[in-house]
Structure 1
Amino acid sequence: MKISNVMVSLDLGAAAADRVQLAAGIAERFEANLTGVAARQVPGLLAVNDVREAERIYEIEDRRANEQLAEAKALFEREADRGPRTSWRAALAEPTAYLIEQARAADLVVVGRHGPADGDPGLMAVSAGALLMEVGRPVLVVPPGIERLSAKRVVVAWKDTREARRAVHDALPFLTRAEAVHVVVVGPGAHGEGSEDVAAYLSSHCVSVTTHLLPNPEVAAAEEILRFAQREQADLVVMGAYGHTRLREWIFGGATRDILQTMSLCCLMSH
């Protein structure tokens, strides 16, 4: 897999500038195009008795939305000046749905982590969970405050599932450039997850890899992965994204939910 187009989601939250810088650095490393994407939905006409008043409110919201999209574009152009090639896509639309649509032109999609303690990113924010389930592309989830990703030391959180296999394949451009890759299996069934086969697969791609089985963690899986990554001075975690559907919404459980809301490292996820 070759990364030729990196796509980054823009909003007006405090972490947006750092996220664009990180995505620009990835694009520069892979000599890829960097595409900024932003969308802002305009509320429909309000159910009020005065039609003129409803139209006036709509016009105000429409103008405000366009102003915010222009502000996002200016932020992107300012922070992405180091990228070799850039392009911009924006629309008056629901942000997550618009990014899913535009991602047909991307090899990698970069979005922000929006956990309970991350502050309000505003009306242009993208739901990482909903995006992962629908986009069909690897998604790099970036916590606030991270403006650079070296990916020299990488942790693969392995579980023998379709999603994890997809994630390992999608992460190969990063893994083949890493100095050290650690395949980590957490849980009581760690010995039966086929980690040695994963290591052999990665070795066949000239990846420097080791395996680590953690069958009896005393803490939650996400916390155990984070502890291991910090101990090994890794700055990227690779894992599959797991969820199930309920009333057409994707509800995450276990490690996936924890990663999306609290992980302090960048996480490359595939579904």
Structure 2
Amino acid sequence: MTYATVMVSLALDQPNEARLQVAGELAERFEASIIGVAAAQFAPPLYYSDGAAAQGLIDEGEASVKRRLSRLEAQFRAAIRNRGGHVEWRSAMDFPARFTFAQARCADIVVAGGQSPAFSDAFALASPKDLVMQAGRPILVVPDGINWLDLRSVLVAWKDTPEARRALADALPLLRKARDVTVLAIPEGDDDRTAAVAGATDVTAWLARHGVTAITRVSEAARNETVVGQLEKIAGDVGASMIVAGAYGHSRFRELILGGVTQYLVTQSARCVLLSH
């Protein structure tokens, strides 16, 4: 398995440099094609207007969106010049998430930016949380401030769920290029520690059969320490620059209301995160 096509989801009026850098490096490492995607809708103001004035306002707003998409294309092409193979740009006047879902059919992996918990604009931004749920492809979330694809140490956040199994398989091309890989199991609640050790050991053996040398680690949680707290602590201990995890192992409703590991990884982690659902 490899990544033959890398897609990067870009956003209007948001920093795109980090995700462009990582997408370009992915395309180079795997000699892959790269597709840039962006979409936006004009969001009309809430105050009332009608007739020619209203139409003029809409025309002006849509023209502005088209100009900004054009500038975004120029930024994309400048950033990935001479990187990877075939280069393609796709954009539309559409809701960004809906447009990106459709385009993801031709990609092996989608690179997206992290999302601030305080910012969500469905007219201008394809939320990585929505992409994970509906794109049907692994999503590599790249926080602002990342300036290269660091694969010296990768942490696999293992839990015996379909989502985690899928993420592990989706991440294989990257794991094969990583220098150090750690498979971490974090027993939760009444989980049997022995079962957690056995599961993580099986995963490490499976990776070895796919050419990935990894070590197994099972968290020794302090009383009342959260899963996120344990994950961050061990990621720091091993110097992980990337985390691989299954997304929304619990119901998404529970994640949205109570918070959770997926919510944290998408909105607050300072590391790249590969998520699959």
Q: Please report the TM-score for the alignment, with normalisation by the length of structure 1.
A: 0.91
**Superposed, which structure 2 residues align to 1:1-271 within 5 Å?**
1-43=1-43, 48=48, 50-85=50-85, 86-116=87-117, 123-188=123-188, 189=191, 190-193=193-196, 194-217=199-222, 219-242=225-248, 244=251, 251=256, 253-271=259-277
Of residues 122-131 and 171-180 in structure 1, the stretch that sits farther from structure 2 once superposed is 122-131
SS at match of 2:81: coil
Q: Is the contact between residue 115 and residue 266 of structure 2 (CA under 8 Å) also seen in structure 1?
A: yes
Q: How many residues in Structure 1 have an aligned counterpart in Structure 2?
A: 268
Q: 2: CA distance between counterparts of 1:46 and 1:145? A: 35
Change in 2 beyond 3 A, CA 1:17/1:46: same
Deviations 1:165-222 (A, max 9, x none): 0000000001112121100011342432311111110011121111111142453222
Q: Is the contact between residue 221 and residue 230 of structure 2 (CA under 8 Å) also seen in structure 1?
A: no
Change in 2 beyond 3 A, CA 1:250/1:53: farther
Of residues 140-149 and 10-19 in structure 1, the stretch that sits farther from structure 2 once superposed is 10-19
Q: 2: CA distance between counterparts of 1:210 and 1:17? A: 33
Deviations 1:135-188 (A, max 9, x none): 110000111110211213110000000000000000000111212110001134
Change in 2 beyond 3 A, CA 1:191/1:13: farther
Q: 1: CA distance between counterparts of 2:14 and 2:41? A: 20
Percent identical among aligned pairs is 35
- Amino acid corresponding to residue 101 of structure 1 in structure 2: A
Q: 2: CA distance between counterparts of 1:220 and 1:20? A: 33
SS at match of 1:181: strand
Deviations 1:58-95 (A, max 9, x none): 10111011011001101101111141231100000000
Deviations 1:101-152 (A, max 9, x none): 10000000000001237x7889532111111111110000111110211213
Q: 1: CA distance between counterparts of 2:255 and 2:153? A: 31
CA shift, 1:47, in A, is 8.2
Of residues 186-195 and 138-147 in structure 1, the stretch that sits farther from structure 2 once superposed is 186-195
Q: 2: CA distance between counterparts of 1:147 and 1:121? A: 25
Long gaps (5+) in structure 2: none
Q: Is the contact between residue 175 and residue 181 of structure 1 (CA under 8 Å) also seen in structure 2?
A: yes
Q: 1: CA distance between counterparts of 2:12 and 2:50? A: 33
